[in-house]
Amino acid sequence: MEPWVILAGYAFSLMKFQSYDSQRGQAGLGEEKMEHREQSFTSSAAKQLALYAFYTMVALAVIMYMLSIAAGRTGSTASGVAVDPDNNSITIALRQEPPQLDHVRATDSSSIIVLSHSMEGLIAYNDAGSLIPGMAERWEIREDGATFWIREEARWSDGVPVTAHDFVFSWRRAVDPATAAEYSFILYPIVNAEEINQGNLPPQTLGVRAVNDRVLEVDFNQPTPYFDKLVAFITYFPTREDFFNNTEGRYGADADMMLANGPYIVTEWTHSASMTWEKNPYYWNDEKGFLDTINVGYITEDVNAKLNLFKDGQISDTHLVAPMLGSAMEQRWQIDRSMDGTVFFLQLNFREDRITANKNFRKALQYAQDPVEFVYKALKEPSYLPAVSLFPYWIRGVDDSFRKEYPPPEHEFNVAKAREHLELARQELGIEEFPPLVILADDSPIGSISSEYYQATFTKNLGLEIRIDKQIFKQRLAKMTAGDFDIVVSGWGPDYDDALTFGDLFASWNLNNRGRYASEAMDEQIRIAQSELDPLRRMEAFAEIQRIVHEDVVMIPMYERGWSFVVDPRLKGFKRRAVGPEVDYNFAYIETGEE
């Protein structure tokens, strides 16, 4: 409060001056020159002004104090420090406010981050990203179904044991069309799931049952060798029936409407502002959840704000975008990188009235562009990889990485060949001039750069007229669904750690195949990939899908997204993941230094 004291002293001296001035003012000022008088008027008025300024400052301080109390009531950011070894806590920032934290209906990355810390499925990931037992201590996956044995020490955050019934309840709820869960499709391998989801059967007919409190039985429609990877996904997490019913439809809406069975409990949730996660005392695994408290101090999408917070020691980690790298080097930070899992590509429209339905035309587009130049020159992101396949490089094959076992067909950037194919397309279509082509893009910065770059590239190399159609999120989706585009800048992220999460994207029956690509050969391979039990034959099917995507130009790969990021050097064990939560603090701990 020192400045106030100084100001007060100043004001006091002013008051004294003022009285002196006014006395002087009354004593025959008239003899002095006009100019002089003006000046003394100015200075005494200025002093008066300063006095008023002081009064208003005091008043302002009082008002601000009151406003500050009011603001405290609106709920706000927990102003902690990035890493606090004394309290064993850290402060982080989330990119977006989770729409709600009902694991069955959650779809976005923020919700997945929170739920992956507060909950755990039958099977979980370890710090290296491999599957380890979670709520289930062991399991068995057969051709016609699976059995999970739930561990005895599995507890909810109120101490009640987690039982097989919680899973049955949760999974039935997920496929019930009344729940309207977007991720219900992920349960389709289970008997009757799809029928229930379409409203043809009651939820009770779902092929899952609790043999007793600790044994869960699942029946498959067809062999599902990757089911262990599926159950690690949030939709497969458990919900306890009595707790759910008590929330009266507000399950996951607030901190007290959630029940945790993971390493952390969401104890506070001020919407759009902050959250607090505290260590769950009932959590069974002592290899996870080392911190006492994780404060989500900030919810902001603004990467510049996050960088500034990190620089200021307010948050423990942040990711960097290309323009920040220069100053990050200057700060002498240790910059790390990781893959995000998402593959971005130009999706083409295969509806009959579109030119992009012509194979030679698609070939022309394919030859005319170079994702390497796009990533290194236009995007300038060191952690991005130029994409060469539908399958990102971290996908596992039989024994090693899939891409090593089955290298994707090589892309060739060749303008001359592109023009040949364009000429063939012109003849096949019997047209003189190609009509303008529409590139649909979202309104993100990268969406803009992508569409601008590809517009320039196709115009330069093929002489085509390209029109950019930049739309906000929902409008772009509506246009994609309606097929109102020729090319759309889009991406696909993994839901589970198996090649199929990418592999079935272009199945003729997949609703997410918004370009309506349909081919017998593709569908056949996808069916094999879905149900084949032999890993080798399954991977061969994926290799075939990879080849078809390239050969038939189903889409044009752009890049595999990655992250350049910085972490407070005292925080160890922090992970950024391709599958599962984008940022993972489950294994994070604070290094105390002298040991």
- Collapsing DSSP states into helix, strand and coil, what is residue 310? helix
Q: Is 238 in the site for other proteins (CB under 8 A)?
A: no
- Which DSSP symbol is given to 68? H
Output the six-digit token pair for 515: 């370009």
CB 80 within 8 A of CB 86: no
Binding range to other proteins, per CB under 8 A, among 44-52, 281-289, 427-435, 516-524: 44-52
CB 526 within 8 A of CB 519: no
- The residue from 68, 130, 427, 592 that contacts other proteins (CB under 8 A) is 68
Phi, psi at residue 92, to the nearest 5°? Answer: -130, 170
- The residue from 249, 281, 430, 593 that contacts other proteins (CB under 8 A) is 249
β-strand partners of 571: 590
How many angstroms separate the CA atoms of 572 and 591, rounded?
7
**Position 135, amino acid:** M
CB 567 within 8 A of CB 556: no
Site for other proteins in 476-505 (CB under 8 A): 477-478, 481
How many angstroms separate the CA atoms of 259 and 119, rounded?
8
399 Cβ neighbours under 8 A, 6+ residues apart: 405
- The residue from 134, 207, 252, 580 that contacts other proteins (CB under 8 A) is 252
Site for other proteins in 139-198 (CB under 8 A): 177-178, 180-185, 197-198
Site for other proteins in 319-348 (CB under 8 A): 321-330, 332-337
Binding range to other proteins, per CB under 8 A, among 67-75, 226-234, 238-246, 279-287: 67-75
Nearest CB to other proteins, comparing residues 56 and 246: 56
Q: Among residues 84, 578, 22, 98, which one has the least CA distance to residue 343? A: 578
Q: Is 128 in the site for other proteins (CB under 8 A)?
A: yes
398 Cβ neighbours under 8 A, 6+ residues apart: 405, 535, 536, 539
Site for other proteins in 346-365 (CB under 8 A): none
Q: Is 518 in the site for other proteins (CB under 8 A)?
A: no
Nearest CB to other proteins, comparing residues 8 and 49: 49
Phi, psi at residue 223, to the nearest 5°? Answer: -55, 135
Provide the minimum distance between the beta carbon of 143 and other proteins in the complex, in angstroms, as a whole number: 27
Nearest CB to other proteins, comparing residues 8 and 456: 456
Output the six-digit token pair for 170: 């949760």
- The residue from 1, 3, 6, 26 that contacts other proteins (CB under 8 A) is 26
- Collapsing DSSP states into helix, strand and coil, what is residue 108? coil
- The residue from 308, 423, 508, 518 that contacts other proteins (CB under 8 A) is 308
Site for other proteins in 455-474 (CB under 8 A): 455-456, 460, 467-474
Nearest CB to other proteins, comparing residues 146 and 328: 328
CB 154 within 8 A of CB 261: yes
Q: Is 22 in the site for other proteins (CB under 8 A)?
A: yes
Provide the minimum distance between the beta carbon of 163 and other proteins in the complex, in angstroms, as a whole number: 25
Q: Is 100 in the site for other proteins (CB under 8 A)?
A: yes
Please give the helix or strand (H or E) that residue 293 lies within, else none: strand 293-299
Nearest CB to other proteins, comparing residues 242 and 443: 443
Q: Is 309 in the site for other proteins (CB under 8 A)?
A: yes
Nearest CB to other proteins, comparing residues 62 and 521: 62
- The residue from 149, 169, 171, 251 that contacts other proteins (CB under 8 A) is 251
Nearest CB to other proteins, comparing residues 150 and 480: 480
Q: Is 62 in the site for other proteins (CB under 8 A)?
A: no
DSSP 30-60: GGS-HHHHHHHHHHHHHHHHHHHHHHHHHHH
CA distances from 591 to 84, 331, 356, 588 (A): 10, 22, 55, 10
Q: Is 13 in the site for other proteins (CB under 8 A)?
A: no
Binding range to other proteins, per CB under 8 A, among 47-55, 153-161, 206-214, 528-536: 47-55
Provide the minimum distance between the beta carbon of 326 and other proteins in the complex, in angstroms, as a whole number: 4
The CA radius of gyration of the chain, in Å to the nearest whole number, is: 31
Provide the minimum distance between the beta carbon of 152 and other proteins in the complex, in angstroms, as a whole number: 31
Output the six-digit token pair for 483: 């097929």
Nearest CB to other proteins, comparing residues 22 and 87: 22
What per-residue string of b and e applies to 118-154 under the rule 16 or more CB within 10 Å gives b?
A: bbbbbbbbeeeeeeebbbbbebebeeebbebbbbeeb
Site for other proteins in 406-465 (CB under 8 A): 436, 438-440, 443-445, 448-449, 451-453, 455-456, 460
- The residue from 4, 9, 32, 42 that contacts other proteins (CB under 8 A) is 42
How many angstroms separate the CA atoms of 562 and 415, rounded?
29
Phi, psi at residue 416, to the nearest 5°? Answer: -60, -45
Q: Among residues 299, 280, 8, which one has the least CA distance to residue 153? A: 280
Q: Go through the chain and tell me how many residues it has.
A: 595
Provide the minimum distance between the beta carbon of 212 and other proteins in the complex, in angstroms, as a whole number: 32
- The residue from 170, 383, 501, 525 that contacts other proteins (CB under 8 A) is 383
Nearest CB to other proteins, comparing residues 153 and 182: 182
- Number of residues engaging other proteins in binding (CB under 8 A): 133
Nearest CB to other proteins, comparing residues 381 and 544: 381
- The residue from 147, 267, 414, 512 that contacts other proteins (CB under 8 A) is 512
CB 364 within 8 A of CB 427: no
**Residue linked to tokens 């694991």:** 103
How many angstroms separate the CA atoms of 112 and 100, rounded?
10
Q: Is 296 in the site for other proteins (CB under 8 A)?
A: no
